[in-house]
């Protein structure tokens, strides 16, 4: 039986399921994991020159070989909150495609994605949208976010704030289905939409009666007065097109031109020259390709290697494959050229011998006219490109899935449904780990956190609102030189200082270059300190070696705070990837016990995934824990304001919470980690 959510009500979407609903929900989850959702693109056409001005990304569910339209599943997804993950999935798939187009040297057009109003249950939507776009390096002006007109009557303030933030990021917003329901002219007037999309229901009537025509005309007029771009949806006939043209509508979208198209079809449209007056597709404006062009593309493809960034790897692979494709195309061209020359040579020679000029011309033209050669080459190039794309898609599907599955929206929702399990994503899977009620449990309540608006610091309070926690930062050489007096003045209560690491590549133990400076600096500024060491030990001997190294570093100082073992994954996990939970637990115990025997308080640092999947927590009860989770905490770079909406998803007892890695404190240049400490050691 389903239980009530354990998290505070604002994190629950409030839908109760019957069995049928739950099965459907599970099926949808599976669909998201298995990449069964695909994005179709419907071209938008500029009314003045009939060229493709952009497209709308529309989701489809490929279910048992059938392509299901959104009406079959989006309403359910909206009620359950799944729509958040779907919308971000669509955005990400769109950005991924756009990146491919950019890399292939195609001219981008602006693509719009639909965002449901259910995103407004949580803050930070605009930031998240921006982060996705940014991570693919898509210029923000090429993305448009569509919000449906009627959907926001009860959430106008949030919508307004989101539209404004998007605008600050350079991302366009449009108001979708305008004129379909309770059209609120206020929406147009009060918000910074760049585009208004006239609903298709306005059109049908418009060509028939004058009154409807006037309505359309005045909406267009008003939108133009407000400097908005006007797009008409659902254009199906030439009469509608003519009417819209006469009313000075900017852009049209509808079946008259194209239905939403699978991506490969849409790519063909992009390569075409737009549409003719009757709505049919113009011939592609084919560019003649010369061997030199092919070589140039090949040379460009040689991107700098060595980055660990997954996306760059994708780019490199794509480029490499494209080079291969281009190489084949080049080879084909060369062979064709040789063939043409040989045939021409033979014919000319025969002609000379026989003296039949007429025959020569006919034979030459029939065999290889220039346009035929062009055609052949173009088709070979297209084929090679298609092949490249398909094989890149195959190889990267797994990675793409992984990216798509780390969205928090669904995970949070699942948590409300399965209160007895810890739910999170690991790779492309959703993990349901039963909560072990035998362990010491956390009694932290999300509602008792308060944010200091001036500093942005987060504190825990008692029921009457008095602060009961301490605010700290953790630093390493990444922060460079720290001005600890300024840090003290900025109200920081304590600091955790990295003393060293074991390199995940070399396996060597190294002291943090800023360790001593930081420790002395903090002590002189009267800031209590703790230290941490980043482990890559693969057995207990190495763990003891690490602990002894830390102890030797600490010997000249008097550090009172915990000595933390930082157990987390690195960008390359080569060294520790084969450790079992049991082995890792042995390693942690070996380190902690060595530290403890020397009179210090040991502590472990990890996130909930690592704590739960990679350790045997029941054997680590006696050690203090420092818990990291800042996935849902965002800082708005535009407003430099903070927003907190992170449910604390780790159910077990912890002493300290690292809640952000993008904190800002006077005295530290750049970002720094922020921590809430529940009970102090000084």
Strands 470-475 and 672-677: antiparallel
Q: Which of 5, 179, 206, 254 binds ligand C2E (CB under 6 A)?
A: 254
Which letter does DSSP use for residue 655 in this model? S
Q: Which of 194, 236, 374, 568 binds ligand C2E (CB under 6 A)?
A: 236
Query: Which listed option, ligand C2E, Mg ion, none, makes contact with residue 93 (CB within 5 to 8 Å by class)?
Result: none
55/45 Cα distance (integer angstroms) = 8
Q: Which stretch binds ligand C2E (CB under 6 A): 82-90, 411-419, 573-581, 665-673?
A: 82-90
- Residues for the chain: how many in total? 682
Least distance in angstroms from the C-beta of 55 to Mg ion: 11
Closer to ligand C2E at the Cβ: 146 or 566? 146
Q: Are 480 and 669 in contact (CB under 8 A)?
A: yes
Q: Which of residues 151-190 bind ligand C2E (CB under 6 A)?
A: 176-177
Rule CB under 6 A: say whether 90 interacts with ligand C2E: yes
Sign of dihedral through CA atoms 26, 30, 36, 41? positive
Strands (E), 555-616: 563-566, 602-607
Q: Which of residues 614-653 bind ligand C2E (CB under 6 A)?
A: none
Closest CA to 608 of 598, 617, 600: 617
Q: Which stretch binds Mg ion (CB under 5 A): 86-94, 168-176, 287-295, 498-506?
A: 168-176
284/454 Cα distance (integer angstroms) = 58
Rule CB under 5 A: say whether 177 interacts with Mg ion: yes
Q: Which stretch binds ligand C2E (CB under 6 A): 6-14, 234-242, 475-483, 586-594?
A: 234-242
Q: Which stretch binds Mg ion (CB under 5 A): 112-120, 203-211, 492-500, 543-551?
A: 112-120
Least distance in angstroms from the C-beta of 369 to ligand C2E: 40
Q: How far is CA 489 from CA 526, 558, 678, in A?
A: 11, 23, 21
Q: Which of 43, 54, 70, 301 binds ligand C2E (CB under 6 A)?
A: 70
Q: Are 232 and 213 in contact (CB under 8 A)?
A: no
Q: Which stretch binds ligand C2E (CB under 6 A): 253-261, 370-378, 626-634, 653-661?
A: 253-261
Closer to ligand C2E at the Cβ: 171 or 547? 171
Rule CB under 5 A: say whether 114 interacts with Mg ion: yes
Q: Which of 11, 97, 200, 322 binds ligand C2E (CB under 6 A)?
A: 200
Q: Which of 93, 146, 566, 586 binds Mg ion (CB under 5 A)?
A: 146
What residues have CB less than 8 Å from 316, skipping those under 6 apart? Answer: 303, 305
Closest CA to 42 of 230, 193, 251, 248: 251
Residue with tokens 């240049």: 669
Closer to ligand C2E at the Cβ: 74 or 384? 74
Q: Which of residues 523-582 bind ligand C2E (CB under 6 A)?
A: none
Strands 458-460 and 449-451: antiparallel
Q: Which stretch binds Mg ion (CB under 5 A): 31-39, 133-141, 230-238, 524-532?
A: 230-238
Q: Which of 93, 100, 144, 176 binds Mg ion (CB under 5 A)?
A: 176
Least distance in angstroms from the C-beta of 227 to ligand C2E: 23
Element (H, E) at 143: strand 143-148
Sequential DSSP letters for 640-653: TEEE--------B-
Strands 110-115 and 470-475: unpaired
Query: Which listed option, ligand C2E, Mg ion, none, makes contact with residue 87 (CB within 5 to 8 Å by class)?
Result: ligand C2E
Rule CB under 6 A: say whether 74 interacts with ligand C2E: yes
Rule CB under 6 A: say whether 409 interacts with ligand C2E: no
Rule CB under 5 A: say whether 87 interacts with Mg ion: no
Number of residues that bind ligand C2E (CB under 6 A): 26
Closer to Mg ion at the Cβ: 93 or 546? 93
Q: Are 459 and 471 in contact (CB under 8 A)?
A: yes
Query: Which listed option, ligand C2E, Mg ion, none, makes contact with residue 260 (CB within 5 to 8 Å by class)?
Result: ligand C2E
Least distance in angstroms from the C-beta of 476 to ligand C2E: 41
303/224 Cα distance (integer angstroms) = 44
Closer to ligand C2E at the Cβ: 253 or 675? 253
Closest CA to 345 of 326, 327, 320, 363: 363
Query: Which listed option, Mg ion, ligand C2E, none, makes contact with residue 294 (CB within 5 to 8 Å by class)?
Result: none
Rule CB under 6 A: say whether 69 interacts with ligand C2E: yes
Closer to Mg ion at the Cβ: 202 or 417? 202
Least distance in angstroms from the C-beta of 181 to ligand C2E: 12
602/590 Cα distance (integer angstroms) = 11
Least distance in angstroms from the C-beta of 176 to Mg ion: 4
444/431 Cα distance (integer angstroms) = 23
Q: Are 128 and 94 in contact (CB under 8 A)?
A: no
Q: Are 155 and 124 in contact (CB under 8 A)?
A: no
Q: Are 56 and 278 in contact (CB under 8 A)?
A: no
Give the largest CA-CA distance in the chain.
109
Least distance in angstroms from the C-beta of 179 to ligand C2E: 12
Site string for ligand C2E, 265-284 (x = CB under 6 A): --------------------
Residue with tokens 């639909």: 114
Rule CB under 6 A: say whether 87 interacts with ligand C2E: yes
Q: How far is CA 64 from CA 61, 85, 93, 298, 533, in A?
A: 9, 21, 21, 40, 51
Counting DSSP H helices and E strands in the chain, the numbers are: 20, 24
Query: Which listed option, ligand C2E, Mg ion, none, makes contact with residue 660 (CB within 5 to 8 Å by class)?
Result: none
Rule CB under 5 A: say whether 92 interacts with Mg ion: no
Least distance in angstroms from the C-beta of 180 to ligand C2E: 8
Closest CA to 632 of 465, 424, 454, 409: 409
325/411 Cα distance (integer angstroms) = 40
313/32 Cα distance (integer angstroms) = 24
531/546 Cα distance (integer angstroms) = 13
Strands 470-475 and 509-511: unpaired
Least distance in angstroms from the C-beta of 199 to Mg ion: 6
Q: Which stretch binds Mg ion (CB under 5 A): 4-12, 118-126, 174-182, 360-368?
A: 174-182
Rule CB under 6 A: say whether 114 interacts with ligand C2E: yes
Q: Tell me which residues touch Mg ion (CB under 5 A).
A: 114, 146, 176-177, 233
Q: Tell me which residues touch ligand C2E (CB under 6 A).
A: 42, 58-59, 69-71, 74, 83, 86-87, 90, 114, 116, 146, 148, 176-177, 200, 233-236, 253-255, 260
């Amino acid at each position: 039986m389903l239980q009530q959510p354990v998290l505070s009500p604002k994190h629950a979407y409030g839908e109760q399921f019957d069995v049928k609903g739950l099965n459907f929900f599970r099926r949808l989850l599976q669909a998201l994991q298995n990449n069964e959702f695909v994005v179709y693109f419907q071209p938008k056409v500029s009314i003045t020159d009939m060229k493709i001005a952009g497209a709308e990304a529309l989701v489809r569910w490929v279910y048992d070989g059938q392509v299901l339209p959104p009406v079959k599943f989006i309403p359910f997804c909206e009620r359950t909150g799944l729509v958040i993950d779907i919308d971000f999935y669509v955005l990400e798939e769109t950005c991924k495609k756009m990146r491919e187009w950019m890399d292939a040297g195609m001219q981008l057009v602006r693509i719009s994605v639909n965002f449901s109003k259910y995103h407004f249950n949580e803050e930070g939507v605009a930031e998240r949208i921006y982060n996705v776009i940014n991570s693919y390096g898509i210029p923000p002006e090429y993305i448009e976010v569509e919000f449906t007109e009627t959907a926001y009557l009860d959430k106008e303030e949030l919508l307004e704030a989101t539209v404004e933030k998007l605008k600050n990021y350079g991302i366009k917003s449009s108001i979708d289905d305008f004129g379909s329901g309770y059209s609120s002219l206020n929406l147009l007037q009060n918000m910074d939409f760049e585009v208004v999309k006239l609903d298709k229901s306005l059109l049908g009537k418009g060509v028939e009666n004058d009154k409807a025509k006037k309505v359309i005309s005045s909406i267009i007029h008003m939108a133009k007065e407000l400097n908005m771009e006007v797009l008409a949806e659902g254009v199906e006939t030439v009469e509608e097109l003519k009417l819209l043209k006469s009313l000075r509508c900017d852009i049209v979208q509808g079946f008259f031109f194209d239905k939403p198209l699978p991506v490969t079809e849409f790519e063909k449209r992009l390569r075409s020259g737009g549409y003719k007056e009757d709505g049919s597709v113009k011939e592609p404006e084919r560019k003649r390709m010369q061997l030199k062009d092919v070589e140039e593309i090949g040379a460009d493809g040689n991107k700098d290697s060595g980055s660990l960034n997954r996306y760059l790897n994708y780019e490199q692979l794509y480029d490499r494959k494209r080079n291969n494709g281009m190489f084949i195309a080049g080879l084909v061209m060369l062979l064709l050229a040789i063939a043409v020359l040989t045939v021409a040579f033979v014919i000319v020679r025969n002609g000379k011998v026989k003296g039949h000029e007429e025959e020569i011309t006919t034979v030459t033209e029939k065999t290889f006219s220039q346009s035929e050669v062009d055609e052949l080459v173009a088709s070979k190039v297209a084929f090679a490109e298609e092949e490249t794309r398909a094989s890149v898609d195959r190889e990267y599907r797994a990675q793409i899935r992984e990216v798509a599955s780390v969205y928090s929206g669904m995970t949070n929702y699942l948590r409300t449904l399965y209160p007895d399990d810890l739910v999170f994503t690991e790779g492309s899977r959703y993990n349901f780990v039963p909560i072990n009620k035998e362990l010491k449990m956390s009694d932290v309540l999300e509602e008792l956190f308060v944010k200091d608006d001036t500093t942005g610091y987060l504190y825990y309070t008692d029921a009457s609102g008095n602060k009961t926690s301490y605010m700290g930062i953790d630093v390493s050489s990444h922060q460079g030189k720290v001005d600890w007096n300024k840090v003290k003045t900025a109200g920081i209560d304590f600091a955790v200082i990295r003393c060293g690491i074991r390199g995940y590549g070399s396996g060597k133990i190294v002291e943090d270059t800023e360790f001593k400076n930081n420790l002395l600096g903090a002590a002189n500024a009267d800031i209590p300190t703790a230290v941490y060491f980043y482990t890559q030990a693969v057995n207990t001997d190495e763990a003891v070696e690490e602990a002894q190294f830390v102890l030797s570093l600490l010997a000249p100082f008097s550090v009172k705070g915990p000595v933390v073992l930082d157990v987390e994954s690195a960008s390359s996990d080569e060294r520790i990837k084969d450790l079992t939970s049991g082995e890792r637990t042995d390693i942690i115990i070996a380190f902690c016990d060595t530290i403890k025997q020397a009179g210090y308080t040991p502590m472990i640092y990890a996130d909930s995934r690592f704590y739960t999947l990679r350790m045997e927590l029941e054997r680590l009860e006696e050690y203090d824990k420092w818990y990291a989770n800042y996935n849902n905490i965002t800082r708005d770079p535009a407003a430099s304001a903070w927003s907190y909406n992170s449910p604390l998803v780790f159910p077990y007892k912890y002493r300290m919470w690292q809640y952000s890695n993008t904190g800002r404190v006077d005295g530290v240049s750049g970002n720094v980690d922020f921590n809430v400490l529940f009970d102090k050691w000084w």
